[in-house]
Structure 1
Amino acid sequence: FSRKGRTPRRPPPKKPPNSQKDPVGVYCRVRPLGAGDEECCIEVISTTTIQLHAPEGFKTNRNGEYKETQYSFKKVFGISVSQMELFEDVAKPLVDDLIHGKNGLLFTYGVTGSGKTFTMTGSPGQGGLLPRSLNMIFNSIGPYQANRYIFKTDDKNGMEVQSEVDALLERQRRGNNVTVPKTPSQKPDPEIADMIKPDEAYKADGVDADSGYSIFVSYIEIYNNYIYDLLEETQEDAIKPKPPQSKILREDQNHNMYVAGCMEVEVKSAEEAFQVFWRGQKKRKVANTCLNRESSRSHSVFIIKMAQAPLDADGTDLLQDKNQVSVSQLCLVDLAGSERTGRTGAEGTRIREAGNINQSLLNLRTCIEILRENQMCGTNRMVPYRDSKVTHLFKNYFDGEGKVRMVVCVNPKADDYEETLLVMRFAEMTQEVEVARPVDRPICGFTPGRRHRNQAFKEELSRRLEERGGPVDRGNNVSSVMNYMVHSLPPLPSSELTDPHDDITLPRLIEALQNRHRIRQMMIEDYNKAANMMKSMLQDLDANLISKDNFIHEQNGKLAERDKIIQSNKAEMERLEKKNKMQEHKIDILQKTTKIYEDDKRSMQQELETREQRLHRELSEKRRMEQRMHGMVSDTQHKWEKECERRVNAMQLEMQNKLWVKDEKLKQLKAIVTESKTPGRPQPPPRQTQPQRPSREERLPAKRSASPSPLPTTTPVRPLHRRSRSAGGEKWVDHKPTSSLDLGTVLQPVIPNAIQVSTPSEKNLSKCDKYVLTHQEVASDGEIKTQLIKGDVLKTRGGGQAVQFTDIETLKQELTTVPSRKRKSSEGTPTGGDGTDGAWTDVETRCSVAMEMRAGSNMGPGYEHHGITKRRKP
């Protein structure tokens, strides 16, 4: 639907401005320590302060010391405070406001097993806040209650007034004025008289006697964030029981929240009201946990609604005007206790119940926090009342529809210390929230004392009738006079005629009728005399009224003079109000200026904090860069030390090779000399032998030791190398980036049965069980160093693939110089590798060189590959 087609929202009614606010009244009650508990963590210091001691073994700060915390409340009730004292300080002002047409909200809050239900309900002989509130209400309005069904509830959270005839018909239709609803129970319900002693009863002052009152009660519970009516009468089916239907919240025309379809029972006494409460209490959901034998698993709300309407001008009947009906209500809420599932040992349904309870209490804390922030910091954040049924139902009270009181119940045992600490913090924060003070409702414009004047007139009329010898009936004087007249006549004799010659019956009947006629004439005369006397009394009353009218006329004259004085005072008040408005305008300007300055101050503070944070971040970044530079310097230094050590070893190896070559030359010369000295054998011409090239193990840098190891004289045999695992039967993903360079070496790593990709994907990984990544980097000697990083492809629990790296193979190419073969020049003069003349006629030299070349070319992946070059004479 478009926005134009929607029904426009009805604007809220304009409420009279009320700048007076009262803080939420928070009281604390300490439960006595149990029989099995020995350590106490709460101490009552004064009537407004308590102190929490951390139990033994509970560390609260870094130094391992115990910490003591104090919390202040409006009043603290210790273990010796009675239920009557608690009611007098907490609930009695709310009941007074209820009788005078104002709303109130009272709820108990605390952990499981802290005494919330006992504080609200009580026990026989120790009645709680609820039965004492009912007792005080009916003690105050008892004589002024209207007949049953005079007030009638509608379906939109309103009240209507019926006539006496309609109320009488409804009483007859509902069963001959049944006052107490039947409760299906085997044992009788407890009476309120057993819970409250006679000397502990209270009565409100200032009750309007010119009004009629009626009390309606309803009882609901909020279980798992659903609302259920505990007074709803359902047909129980033993074969297929139906679960209770949840109720919904709605908003009436005054924007007040109410439970739609909730049953409201009209009660006429405190006993009847408490029986209705007990009937709903039996349906409330409780469970046995490790912390409480009957733990409340829901939030219970008992609503007492009082309807009040003024009497008419005669003081006999109520005005049947819906606009004159005043409705006020008092909500008594017993919140479920917050609990940790680890301590309660809950399972299954109990865990879900505890989670919903903790979530609703968390929403209540969030609403209180945002309200406090809006009031203290001047913000306009939206309060999330709709996140929970508890906060949504009572949002009007926090917006200024009545007083709000909270009783925080705590258990002093050491096991509840952590949860009690959270409760204390929430209660301390709640005290800082202010609620607008409710405005007094207007009173009807009739003259006061109408009920007493009407009652006095009836009593005077009955007294006059009694003086004249008539019957006394305080209820209906006219009907009593008529009954007296009928029963005062003598009875008629028997008029049956059995004989036609009977001369006795008829004269006797005639005489009796004449006698009755004479008595009737006398009664008529007496009645006329009484009527004349009544007329004279009325005339006297009229004269008195005339005199009173004259007196009223005189008083009106005086009132006119007073009105002139009042008008002058009003003019002066208007002048002062204008001046006051001007001052208020100036104050508003100053407040706006102050607000602007405060906003500037707040923004500058935020900017300063931001700059300080940026400076700290830059300093930390600088320190981190310094540490990184120190690490890089140390790594570079270590690398160059290794490089220097490698070069020194290489130079040592080269010098050893040169010494070895010279030794070989000397050996050959010595052999030639010895052969030339042998007799009978011709001496061959001297030849230059090719020095045997050292093996790879000999050319590697030797480990540092006290004395150099002797050089081997025989050609070493190259050991067999481990074959790469990439040559197996597994299927590989060969990941070669596009930036890889081809080295052009003889041996290249080849992986059979592999998928070559430049960028791996989940589809490629799902088809293989091995993974290899080709990585190239520049080594310290300037050559390109290639690494094969191998890993296993594993399946993850979510259905994807992950690579776990297991091995790294290094491929490195290094160019070295070996003695090369010199060919004969054009002149036929052979030259050696070092500039000396020689020829490749020595078989031993050629074999050693060939074996060394073959050993150098048979290198596999993962080992160093040394290339061999030959130098030719141009």
Structure 2
Amino acid sequence: MKGKTPRRPPKKPSNNQKDPVGVYCRVRPLGAEDEECCIEVISNTTIQLHAPDGLKANRNGEFKETQYSFKKVFGIKTTQRELFADVAKPLVEDLIHCKNGLLFTYGVTGSGKTYTMTGSPGQGGLLPRSLDMIFNSIGPYQAKRYVFKPDDKNGMEVQNQVDALLDRQKRDSQTSVPKTPTTRRIDPEFADMISPEEACKAGEVDEDSSYSVFVSYIEIYNNYIYDLLEETPFDPIKPKPPQSKILREDQNHNMYVAGCTEVEVKSTEEAFEVFWRGQKKRRIANTQLNRESSRSHSVFIIKLAQAPLDADGDNVLQDKSQVNVSQLCLVDLAGSERTSRTRAEGNRLREAGNINQSLMTLRTCIEVLRENQMCGTNKMVPYRDSKVTHLFKNYFDGEGKVRMVVCVNPKADDYEETLLVMRFAEMTQEVEVARPVDRPICGFAAGRRQRNQAFKDELTHRLEERGGPVDGESPTVLNQLLQSFHPLPPCEISGPNDDVTLPRLIDALEKRHKIRKLMVEEYNKTGKITLLRAQDSNLLSKENFIQEQRGRLGEKDKMIQNQKNEIDRLEKKSKMLEYKIDILQKTTNIYEEDKRSLQHELESREQRLQREMSEKRRMETRMQGIVTDAKLKWEKECERRVNAKQLEMQNKLWVKDEKLKQLKAIVTEGKTENRQPQRPSREKDKVPAKRSVSPSPVPTGPLVRPLHRRSHSAGGERWVDHKPTTNVDLDTVLQPNIPNAIKVNAPNEKALSKCDKYVLTHQEFASDGEIQTKLIKGEVFKTRGGGQAVQFTDIETLKQENPVAASRKRRSSETGPDGEPMERNWTNVETRCSVAVEMRAGSNLGPGYQHHGYPKRRKP
């Protein structure tokens, strides 16, 4: 039977609290002042990209100015110290408090990533400042060399003092010159990277723990991992290429580089030397865009081993389970580049392809993580597609904080690449990483190191007091004994054949034993033993009281620590909420600015529209006035021409009538002389001046049934008096008065059905410009359709004249239009007939004489 696969240890408990990936942006200065810039820093959290001149437009035919927000934006005047205080200092504090961290720089080639990470003399970057802060914080609490030892499985072992001493002696024997900080020669590149006034230190360092720092330096070149600190023997004849390393997973499911060199360092200078030793092996090349372009991703790993001291506070606790190992990874990613710009060939082209492929895999992993978190999906993140993402897989799964510094070059040539970098950074900010769980610490009471040191100081003080004068006697013998009490010689064994150290140590111990016996005898002689015992008993009671107070103090410290932890948790939560509020506030400000700009544009357009509308109304009013004036002018002109034409036609008709009358007079001359003029039988024949009656026209339409006409003497006729509202009151003496009449403004069937007579009062302009009134009379009949019809039978004209104009007319009327003299001996009948014919021919009934349901009047 096959054996069962051993169970893997369970993963660490997950934490529901998550923090977003902190993304910062740093803008480097332009190389030359005359270069075109495409980036503008709007605020300490927002930058804006401008499309450079001469670049092709997008699908819409235009380029829009795009804004991107970050946790913080560092301009061209930002110092390395300010950048470190905001970005890397919190990660170093977490490292000292047993939490992991990942910090990497990202950007286009030549954007200042290596300078941000490494720095220059006098301007140290994030890496040297992180090392300096670590050693400034844990310097007094560092363990001796080789007390902590890597176990080659991403863990640490704790050795006792004897094993550590043997390892130190073995190392010293292999090197001719001891490597101590005082004798080590520092490379001039790192001599003055950090000034003393810029040194910083972490707070709340556990003084009851012992620390040790290990560093390793690797590079990922063409998707292979190489150890930059590995020391291989140099063969000038056939040099061996470096061997690539593989990735493995430890018992806590964390990825690590198997077989990677881990160097224990005890000072900032020693760590600088190790870093520079590996930096010289890193692959760089000269390209068209960067003189020292990184051709690989470099990863500098700082491991901090921490273990509590024993109960006495002297040595490290020999318990591997109590050892906490935290690490900080500082990654300098190679810059993305386009071969069309770098003109890379051969190896450079292959390197660029692998760099771009690894960065593309990083983007893909971030996209899948973002999609899983925002959409609730459970897609597999392709960490294994690249060594970079596979190595830092555990960080995105919640093993530490993740920070990214996006470095950008503001020159216009890098606009398109910078646009892609900004989109990736914007997407990365939306990914949240689980907050690491605090690791438990040893349960010993705090302050062991301080108590041990205080106890040593107290013993030294008592020894000095006991060596003083007693009862006025001279302390000559005791002082001589104390002076002869020499310290122990060095007891480190140089090798297995060392026969000098042990005899020397035995001899020194025997001498000290003899001196001790003499001191005891001296004290016995002086009789101070009882006093010493009394002091010891008093000291014991005081120590018991101090121990009791320390126990209470320890409980208070635990309570304070719990409260501090709670305060830290609330502060972190408050910072997270403040960060979200800040993002929302920035978004609100952006929206408010957009709203204000759109509102301003809307107001300007409304004002312009109002101006156009007022101009349009003004133009309409002006055109209406012009049209009205033109219409009145043409109406007057047309009316004048019509009146003139009517007058002309009337004159011609009058001439013809006069000729006919003369001819009739010649033919019937004899008959008219024998006749007597008859008196008119009707009252209406007695027409005053200028009031004429035309003969009754012949009915034009068939009648259904004529109404019964009553006698005129009976007075039963009813009239429909039709007076339009447009008539003008002339205030004349002769006014038409029709008794028993129905007055209407417009004819209607109801009024016509009740009456048998119809009269229309019509006003118009005469040929001489005066107003004349016409009374058009008619009889009402029923039609076959059941309606009412009016048959006009008579027209009476009332006209006003100016005496001057009348005299002129009479003079002009004495001669005809053809110059012949007119006869003046007309009879009354002829005159009236001629006037009647003239009026009938010149009458204009107008459109008002045709009514709905009535037949249209025919022209005679």
Q: Is the CA contact 1:363–1:387 (under 8 Å) kept in the aligned structure 2?
A: yes
Q: Give CA-to-partner distance per residue, 1:278-328, whole Å, 9 cap, x none.
A: 000000000000000010000000000000000111111111100000000
Which residue of the partner structure matches residue 249 of structure 1?
247
Q: Are 1:98 and 2:75 matched, yes or no?
A: no
Q: Is the CA contact 1:127–1:196 (under 8 Å) kept in the aligned structure 2?
A: yes
- CA gap 1:199/1:522 in 2 versus in 1, 3 angstroms: closer
Q: Is the CA contact 1:141–1:213 (under 8 Å) kept in the aligned structure 2?
A: yes
Q: Give CA-to-partner distance per residue, 1:52-92, whole Å, 9 cap, x none.
A: 00110113323532321111100000000100000000000
Q: CA deviation at 1:146?
A: 0.5
Q: Are 1:66 and 2:63 matched, yes or no?
A: yes
What SS is found at the alignment partner of 2:484? helix
Q: 1:464, 1:371 → 2: CA distance? A: 66
Which residue of the partner structure matches residue 53 of structure 1?
50
Which residue of the partner structure matches residue 402 of structure 2?
404
CA root-mean-square deviation:
3.1
Which residue of the partner structure matches residue 452 of structure 1?
450
Deviates more, 1:380-389 or 1:536-545: 536-545
Q: Give CA-to-partner distance per residue, 1:357-394, whole Å, 9 cap, x none.
A: 00000000000000000000000000000000000000
Q: Is the CA contact 1:485–1:523 (under 8 Å) kept in the aligned structure 2?
A: no
Q: Is the CA contact 1:37–1:413 (under 8 Å) kept in the aligned structure 2?
A: no
1:130 to 120, 127, 132: 127
1:40 to 15, 37, 60: 37
Q: Is the CA contact 1:400–1:436 (under 8 Å) kept in the aligned structure 2?
A: yes
Q: Is the CA contact 2:14–2:437 (under 8 Å) kept in the aligned structure 1?
A: no
- Partner letter of residue 244 of structure 2? S
Which residue of the partner structure matches residue 317 of structure 1?
315
What SS is found at the alignment partner of 1:391? helix
Q: 1:372, 1:158 → 2: CA distance? A: 32
Which residue of the partner structure matches residue 299 of structure 1?
297
Q: 2:300, 2:348 → 1: CA distance? A: 24
* Contiguous gaps of at least 5 residues in structure 2: 469-478, 488-513, 563-860
Q: Are 1:87 and 2:61 matched, yes or no?
A: no
- CA gap 1:402/1:532 in 2 versus in 1, 3 angstroms: farther
Q: CA deviation at 1:155?
A: 1.3
Q: CA deviation at 1:103?
A: 0.1
Q: 1:518, 1:274 → 2: CA distance? A: 49
Q: Are 1:143 and 2:136 matched, yes or no?
A: no
What SS is found at the alignment partner of 1:66? coil
After superposition, where does 1:815-834 map in structure 2 within 5 Å? none
Q: 1:424, 1:290 → 2: CA distance? A: 23
Q: 1:76, 1:289 → 2: CA distance? A: 29
- Partner letter of residue 132 of structure 1? R
- CA gap 1:550/1:124 in 2 versus in 1, 3 angstroms: closer
What SS is found at the alignment partner of 1:136? helix
- CA gap 1:140/1:368 in 2 versus in 1, 3 angstroms: same
Deviates more, 1:351-360 or 1:546-555: 546-555
Q: Give CA-to-partner distance per residue, 1:585-606, whole Å, 9 cap, x none.
A: xxxxxxxxxxxxxxxxxxxxxx
- Partner letter of residue 119 of structure 1? T
Q: CA deviation at 1:548?
A: 5.0
Which residue of the partner structure matches residue 522 of structure 2?
525
Which residue of the partner structure matches residue 707 of structure 1?
none
Q: 1:469, 1:547 → 2: CA distance? A: 27
Which residue of the partner structure matches residue 190 of structure 1?
188
Q: 1:432, 1:549 → 2: CA distance? A: 53
Q: Are 1:168 and 2:165 matched, yes or no?
A: yes
Which residue of the partner structure matches residue 208 of structure 1?
206
What SS is found at the alignment partner of 1:22? strand
Identity of aligned pairs, percent?
Answer: 75
Q: 1:553, 1:418 → 2: CA distance? A: 66
Q: Is the CA contact 1:135–1:270 (under 8 Å) kept in the aligned structure 2?
A: yes
- Partner letter of residue 311 of structure 1? L
Q: Is the CA contact 2:481–2:519 (under 8 Å) kept in the aligned structure 1?
A: no
- CA gap 1:16/1:133 in 2 versus in 1, 3 angstroms: same
Q: CA deviation at 1:213?
A: 0.3
- CA gap 1:549/1:33 in 2 versus in 1, 3 angstroms: closer
Which residue of the partner structure matches residue 393 of structure 2?
395
**TM-score, normalising length: structure 2:** 0.57
Q: CA deviation at 1:277?
A: 0.3
After superposition, where does 1:763-774 map in structure 2 within 5 Å? none
* Contiguous gaps of at least 5 residues in structure 1: 471-479, 489-516, 567-874
After superposition, where does 1:530-541 map in structure 2 within 5 Å? 535-541=533-539
Which residue of the partner structure matches residue 349 of structure 1?
347
Q: Are 1:237 and 2:235 matched, yes or no?
A: yes
Q: What number of residue pairs does the alignment pair up? A: 518
Q: CA deviation at 1:465?
A: 2.4
What SS is found at the alignment partner of 2:365? helix
Which residue of the partner structure matches residue 483 of structure 2?
484
Larger Rg: 2
Which residue of the partner structure matches residue 777 of structure 1?
none
Q: 1:111, 1:397 → 2: CA distance? A: 24
- CA gap 1:443/1:521 in 2 versus in 1, 3 angstroms: closer
Q: Give CA-to-partner distance per residue, 1:536-583, whole Å, 9 cap, x none.
A: 443222212444577789999x99xx9xxx9xxxxxxxxxxxxxxxxx
Q: 1:19, 1:28 → 2: CA distance? A: 28
- CA gap 1:182/1:389 in 2 versus in 1, 3 angstroms: farther
Q: CA deviation at 1:174?
A: 1.1
- CA gap 1:377/1:534 in 2 versus in 1, 3 angstroms: farther
Q: Is the CA contact 1:23–1:435 (under 8 Å) kept in the aligned structure 2?
A: yes
Which residue of the partner structure matches residue 223 of structure 1?
221
Which residue of the partner structure matches residue 432 of structure 1?
430
- CA gap 1:37/1:217 in 2 versus in 1, 3 angstroms: farther
**TM-score, normalising length: structure 1:** 0.56
- Partner letter of residue 385 of structure 2? D
Which residue of the partner structure matches residue 677 of structure 2?
none
Q: 2:480, 2:262 → 1: CA distance? A: 42
Which residue of the partner structure matches residue 668 of structure 2?
none
Q: Is the CA contact 1:190–1:275 (under 8 Å) kept in the aligned structure 2?
A: no
Q: 2:360, 2:135 → 1: CA distance? A: 37
Q: Is the CA contact 2:104–2:332 (under 8 Å) kept in the aligned structure 1?
A: yes
Q: CA deviation at 1:197?
A: 1.1
1:110 to 107, 112, 134: 107
Q: 2:17, 2:9 → 1: CA distance? A: 21
Q: 2:138, 2:310 → 1: CA distance? A: 18
- CA gap 1:284/1:320 in 2 versus in 1, 3 angstroms: same
- Partner letter of residue 196 of structure 1? I
- CA gap 1:191/1:213 in 2 versus in 1, 3 angstroms: farther
Q: Give CA-to-partner distance per residue, 1:435-457, whole Å, 9 cap, x none.
A: 00011111211100000000111
- Partner letter of residue 483 of structure 2? Y
- CA gap 1:257/1:408 in 2 versus in 1, 3 angstroms: same
What SS is found at the alignment partner of 1:194? coil
After superposition, where does 1:431-580 map in structure 2 within 5 Å? 431-469=429-467, 484-485=483-484, 524-526=521-523, 535-547=533-545
Higher RCO by CA contacts (8 Å cutoff, separation 6 or greater): 2
Q: Is the CA contact 1:181–1:276 (under 8 Å) kept in the aligned structure 2?
A: no
Q: Is the CA contact 1:108–1:334 (under 8 Å) kept in the aligned structure 2?
A: yes
Q: 1:281, 1:366 → 2: CA distance? A: 30
Q: 1:240, 1:554 → 2: CA distance? A: 70
Q: Give CA-to-partner distance per residue, 1:387-440, whole Å, 9 cap, x none.
A: 000000000000000000000000001111110000000000000000000111
Which residue of the partner structure matches residue 28 of structure 2?
31
Which residue of the partner structure matches residue 151 of structure 2?
154
What SS is found at the alignment partner of 1:306? strand
Q: CA deviation at 1:526?
A: 3.9
Q: Is the CA contact 1:107–1:334 (under 8 Å) kept in the aligned structure 2?
A: yes
Which residue of the partner structure matches residue 733 of structure 2?
none
- Partner letter of residue 86 of structure 1? L
- CA gap 1:518/1:452 in 2 versus in 1, 3 angstroms: closer
After superposition, where does 1:606-617 map in structure 2 within 5 Å? none
- CA gap 1:531/1:250 in 2 versus in 1, 3 angstroms: farther
What SS is found at the alignment partner of 1:204? coil
Q: Give CA-to-partner distance per residue, 1:213-251, whole Å, 9 cap, x none.
A: 000000000000000000000101111100000000000
Q: 1:155, 1:442 → 2: CA distance? A: 24
